[in-house]
A and B are shown apart, each in its own frame.
Chain A
Amino acid sequence: MDYKRKKISDGEYVNTICTDKFKTAVFTVKFILPLSEKTASYYALIPNVLKCGTAELPTIREISRRLQELYGMELFSSSVKVGDYQSVSFSIAMLDSKYSMGDGGNITEQAISLLSSVIFSPYTENGVFSAAYVEREKKTLIDSIRATRNNKNSFAVEKCVEHMFAGDPFSVNPKGCEKIIVGIDPKTLFSYYEKFLSEARIEAFYIGAEPHEKIEKIFAEKFHFSERNYSALPEVRRKAAVKVNEAQEDAAAIQGKMVMGFDLGCTSYDAMCDAAPLFMAVFSMSPVSKLFLNVREKLSLCYYCQGVPEYLKGVLIVSSGIDNTNFKAAKSEILRQLDAVKSGDITDEEMFFAKKSLNDIYRTINDSPFSIENWCFNRVISGKFYTPEEKADDIMKMDAGKVSEFARGIKLDTVFFLRGAGTSGLEEEKDEA
């Protein structure tokens, strides 16, 4: 990985990974801020309003036409939770200039320039965002918050996190909160936008064929922040489990969803956490893991049962789709499997499979610009720099004792059950044919 990290100013960095492996080049700018109920809604709304128009291209239509002219360059944004931070990203994916139909010129420079005007030169009326755009994007954002309900799995996960982290920044929805969004006006939003530009930690990533220096130069030219008021981000704080909380709700759905929230006992800042990926591979991440083989395959207690860790916060969420009647059985089987790992009940074969599978994952990260970006971002945010190959070598040296030791720090904190109706209420859709 030909990786270079350059500091532009305090809290402002450009990370470049130069490779001619891809026909796609990716450029992303991330604004990272402390996650709080008070500001999350504003910061979530900002990218959506910015994408509505720039001073030169004042409508979505004109921006879209420009994107198409630049060989179908894609522009997307997101607002996600990373530990106790809100990370607001603006990304572009573009065709490498040498594959254009002949008249492409330098797509990279034009594309980054367009992204810069989206971020820095918004379409304004009377010095603030357009009232019409703000109203429209408020409605769209509220719709997307409400739409979580449409996917019962992510809905249940969100509920579990709310219960588990009540009063903690990690419970805040990075999409915002409907009650706050309703009251946002263009003027206040604009002042939050200025705060956003001024206070965020900024991390830019480029993965493509252009040399480091060229991208650093383009970034320095196109991304002109005025005087910034940056202070270093506070460290993410783990929430230690004290006792097990249980909560449940009924849903008008066929299947029940059971979500279990665990405290990992350490975070990515801690050396102990280095064994976490190996634990995950043994416990739940592959089709030969304990959860898949036992809870799903052997006992048929669920259709899916998967664990998703957040190492920065030190939390593991295990979610499963189950029949209501299997709630107790599935829960105790998941805990039984965790206890097995804790007590060292890990076979040589399981260790071998887990290591092989992680090795495969790490060795293929360099095959996609998006997975490279994601890898680098995780390194930057945890402050631990190593290549996927180095991590793979490190994992290969660990033994089962290390996995058990890590597992013994894990405690169940919350169980959330979204109880299904059990029957579909659907008429059997039979064909007359």
Chain B
Amino acid sequence: MKREFEIYENAVLNEKFYSLKHESGLTVQVFPKKMSSLYAVYAVKFGSVNNRFSVGGKDFRIPDGVAHFLEHKMFEGKNGKNAFELYAEYGASANAYTSALNTAYLFSSAEDHEKCLGVLLDFVNDPYFTEENIKKEQGIISQEIGMYDDNPFSRLYYATLKLLYKNHPVRNNICGSVSSISEITPELLYNCYNAFYRPENMVLCVCGDISPERVLAIVDGKVTAKAGDAAVLTSPDEPDEINEKYAELKMDISKPMVSIAFKDNDIPTGAKNVLKRSLCMEILCELLFGKSSAFYDKMYAEGLISSSFSAEYIEYTDCGSVMIFDESGDDKALKEAVLSEVKNAIGKPFSKDDFERVRRSRYSESVRSFDSTDDIANDMMRSYFSGYNVFLEPDMLSAIKYSDVLECLSVFKEENCVTAKIIPTMQRG
């Protein structure tokens, strides 16, 4: 096994990072940067969508919310000390999060970087689950679920995903539900841990004032290859058709909220193509519906959309959709206006100058994300799991063509369109 880091450089950004496949199977990426804070993410490719898989030929269908539950439980150590206390010794601040695709454990430190890295690797590599500590966690996570259920944006988002997707597990709440997490046992957590928390399914991304060799020295002493079988994921069987057209819920909010979404059935294969599609879609959304568009200008002037109106592309590797959000009562009028704007754009598209302006603006956003150790480490992690390197985004933004964006217009089809709405429980004067 070679011990030399591969170096990735970007001349425009004047940045570089180092990547190495460690003999344990773990990928280690180090982005040296002269900052006071060092930021490290130790992540596993196990998110809320991974609820069907097989291990050693045996099929599993796990309850929703296991990845998130594991994340919570990992912080607890055998001696009753939680990981927060271990970091506190060095003044570092630690956290973790679970997304649809990954679970990430992280810290930010100003001193004692190597010791903090040691803590990070130690506690994630050392699970401890008992009947008792699981029962307690069920209580805490139920409160967290309650908090999200009180959040109208979260409720509208999941309502929209449930309309778009029949089977794809991205439709399920990341935390699961009170009833799904009640099925969790120590055995289940250990099975999932052993199947997913394996060096070859993980990455360590570090950004800050540190050399790759120093990071590697810590990894050498802490990470070894793991025996046993890895999880083999079962791909979700998602048809092109949407699940349902319309959903409506009621909450104690000040104004109706509406989400109009279009399911994208033309997601290409290959990691780079997926990224390209996603960036083109973002540019298209801005061109059609952003503050610089004729649509926004007219609709906002006439009071038909509110200042919270937004249109964005949401991508989860193998599924994606355009989501349009507004706080307004008339979802039908909004949908009609959106579709008519798309029809206009197909007949008489935006100019090349418009495209150039928006592309440049999005490029600048990408460059500016290389200012913080936090953004860089997280972006490195996501890029790695998606199958490319963190410099691809700005490079691709320099290369995207006008015609690439025009092609994306076909996503806006009536038959792919769903509407979710939240109506205020009471009218206020």
Q: Are B179 and A433 in contact (CB under 8 A)?
A: no
Q: Are B36 and A357 in contact (CB under 8 A)?
A: no
Question: Interface size for chain B: under 10, 10 to 19, 20 to 34, or 35 or more residues?
Answer: 35 or more
Indicate if B34 sits at the interface (CB-CB under 8 A). yes
8 tightest A-B CB contacts, nearest first: A356-B91, A72-B361, A287-B84, A146-B254, A252-B252, A64-B292, A303-B143, A363-B110
Which residues from B are CB-within-8-Å of A300? 136, 139-140
A sample of 22 cross-chain residue pairs with beta-carbon separation below 8 angstroms, ordered by A number, consists of A61-B291, A67-B292, A68-B292, A95-B368, A101-B398, A143-B308, A143-B327, A146-B255, A147-B253, A252-B425, A287-B85, A288-B84, A288-B85, A352-B89, A359-B111, A360-B109, A360-B111, A368-B372, A424-B149, A430-B180, A431-B64, A433-B61
- Name the distance in Å between A344's Cβ and chain B's nearest Cβ: 21
Residues of B at under 8 Å CB distance from A? Answer: 12-13, 34-37, 61, 64, 82, 84-85, 88-94, 108-111, 136, 139-140, 143-144, 146-147, 149-152, 162, 167, 172-173, 177-180, 251-255, 290-294, 296-297, 300-301, 303, 306-308, 327, 357-358, 360-365, 367-368, 370-373, 398, 425, 428
Indicate if A214 sits at the interface (CB-CB under 8 A). no
C-alpha spacing A254/B178, complex, angstroms: 13
Contact residue among A100, A148, A152, A364 (Cβ-Cβ distance under 8 Å from B110): A364
Which residues from A are CB-within-8-Å of B425? 252
Q: How many residues of A contact B (CB 8 A)?
A: 72
Contact residue among B34, B93, B172, B364 (Cβ-Cβ distance under 8 Å from A360): B93
| Residue in B34, B146, B296 with the greatest tally of chain A CB atoms within 10 Å | B146
Indicate if A253 sits at the interface (CB-CB under 8 A). yes
Q: Are A360 and B91 in contact (CB under 8 A)?
A: yes
Those of A1-37 within 8 Å (CB) of chain B: 21-24
Which residues from B are CB-within-8-Å of A71? 360-361, 363-364
C-alpha spacing A132/B64, complex, angstroms: 50
C-alpha spacing A101/B394, complex, angstroms: 11
Indicate if A366 sits at the interface (CB-CB under 8 A). yes
- Name the distance in Å between A364's Cβ and chain B's nearest Cβ: 4
C-alpha spacing A27/B190, complex, angstroms: 51
Indicate if A221 sits at the interface (CB-CB under 8 A). no
Which residues from B are CB-within-8-Å of A136? 300-301, 303
Q: Are A21 and B108 in contact (CB under 8 A)?
A: no
Q: Are A428 and B178 in contact (CB under 8 A)?
A: yes
Q: Are B253 and A61 in contact (CB under 8 A)?
A: no
Q: Are A151 and B373 in contact (CB under 8 A)?
A: no
Q: Are B364 and A72 in contact (CB under 8 A)?
A: yes
Q: Are B88 and A353 in contact (CB under 8 A)?
A: yes
Q: Are B88 and A286 in contact (CB under 8 A)?
A: yes
C-alpha spacing A54/B358, complex, angstroms: 21
C-alpha spacing A372/B296, complex, angstroms: 34
Contacts A69-B357, A101-B398 given: A321-B252 contact, CB under 8 Å? no
C-alpha spacing A299/B92, complex, angstroms: 25
Q: Are A252 and B357 in contact (CB under 8 A)?
A: no
Indicate if A65 sits at the interface (CB-CB under 8 A). yes
- Name the distance in Å between A380's Cβ and chain B's nearest Cβ: 22
Which residues from A are CB-within-8-Å of B84? 286-288
Contacts A132-B301, A143-B255, A149-B253 given: A254-B150 contact, CB under 8 Å? yes
Q: Are B255 and A24 in contact (CB under 8 A)?
A: no
Which residues from A are CB-within-8-Å of B296? 60-61
Q: Are A357 and B93 in contact (CB under 8 A)?
A: yes
Q: Are B306 and A140 in contact (CB under 8 A)?
A: yes
C-alpha spacing A361/B296, complex, angstroms: 41
Q: Are A24 and B371 in contact (CB under 8 A)?
A: yes
Those of A322-375 within 8 Å (CB) of chain B: 323, 352-353, 355-361, 363-364, 366-369
